[in-house]
Amino acid sequence: MQKIGRKWKGLLKLLGPIFFVFILLRVIDLQTAWALIRGINLKMALISILLFPVLNTLLAVRWWVICRRLELKTSFKTLFQINYISWFLSAIPMVGISAISKFAYLTEEGKPAGLIAISITLDKLFNIIGPIFFGLFAFVYFPRSLLNYMHLWIFYAGLIMIALAVALFWKKIWQTLKTLLSRFTSKRLHQIGRNLEMKLVKFWSNFDITFFSLILVISIVIGLLRSLALYLLAISLNISVSFGFMIACRALVGITNMIPISISGLGTRDAVLLLTLPLAGVTKEAAIALGFLGFLWTILFKFSGVIFWLKRPLPSDSIVAIKEKLRS
């Protein structure tokens, strides 16, 4: 049954690319979109590539902060390189390869397997929570364009009521959030080992709003950097939109990409841009051209990690052995 489930997950990832092909064939003028890409300002596009190491540094910082809280002693330099390698290996069409490679490298260094598994699981968890909070900006930014003006007051009244509820019942909401997060991580780690419960309980007992805020801030800055990359790519295509508008677009892209129906956001990113960019007077062809550039940017970002992988390659048989061990 697990093998069937994994096969279905692999097939689901083809939905995004299939939808992208449909857009190319039935929704836009392909020649116009290609002309836009051919006329790209290479200087602006290349500037966006400079964000690769900055973005990966922040991703490594978040993982490093989690490791320190877990008392998993490893240097930031090591985590930076391992995170970059795992990002490169994620380009391989193999479910869970990124997490498996992180586990393999740290295990090779003699780190406790239990703490490694917990750190990877928590980093994955906050990689989901970050885009969700960052995505809230889009729901504040876009209602004036997406909703009828007559009903706009309902939206803002709802936001005020939610804010008041959070202020009045903050302690209960915080405890509920901790409980839900604890259950999520416990369920995932149960598949790896049953002796990790005490270590996980210790982490959640020390989990406070200061630590959560730090992780959240790092995640939001990561979202802003990805928005900046998309904004620079938009400028390279001579698309005239504000940075705030692009942040809102990227916030929706981040939420959509959490649904496992695409490969590196191909198709899902384009769907969001096709919905939002015309609100700013951008043509459908330009929206798809930007989406495709965003896909190429992501692929290049992943393959930039090959530099560290060449310095420290991990044998494929080690990855397969660890994957089989985690399944058993």
Structure tokens given for 96 = 């869970």
In whole angstroms, give the CA distance from residue 19 to residue 262.
Answer: 9
Structure tokens given for 212 = 């959560």
Name the pTM for this structure: 0.83
**Domain-located, residue 125:** yes
**Domain-located, residue 2:** no
253-286 pLDDT, tens digit per residue, is 998 888 888 888 999 999 999 989 998 999 999 9
**Domain-located, residue 315:** yes
Q: The domain containing residue 40 runs over which residues?
A: 31-327
**Domain-located, residue 13:** no
**Domain-located, residue 131:** yes
The whole-angstrom distance between residue 166's C-alpha and the CA centroid of its chain comes to 26
Distances from the Cα of 133 to the Cα of 90, 139, 140, 164, 254, angstroms: 24, 11, 12, 18, 10
**Domain-located, residue 15:** no
Count CB-CB contacts under 10 A for residue 315: 9
- Is the C-alpha dihedral spanning 284, 289, 292, 297 positive or negative? negative
Residue of 239, 232, 290 whose CA lies nearest to 265: 290
**Domain-located, residue 11:** no
Tally of structural domains, the chain = 1
**Domain-located, residue 113:** yes
pLDDT at 2: 45
Q: What is the mean pLDDT of the chain?
A: 81
178-201 pLDDT, tens digit per residue, is 565 566 555 555 555 555 666 677
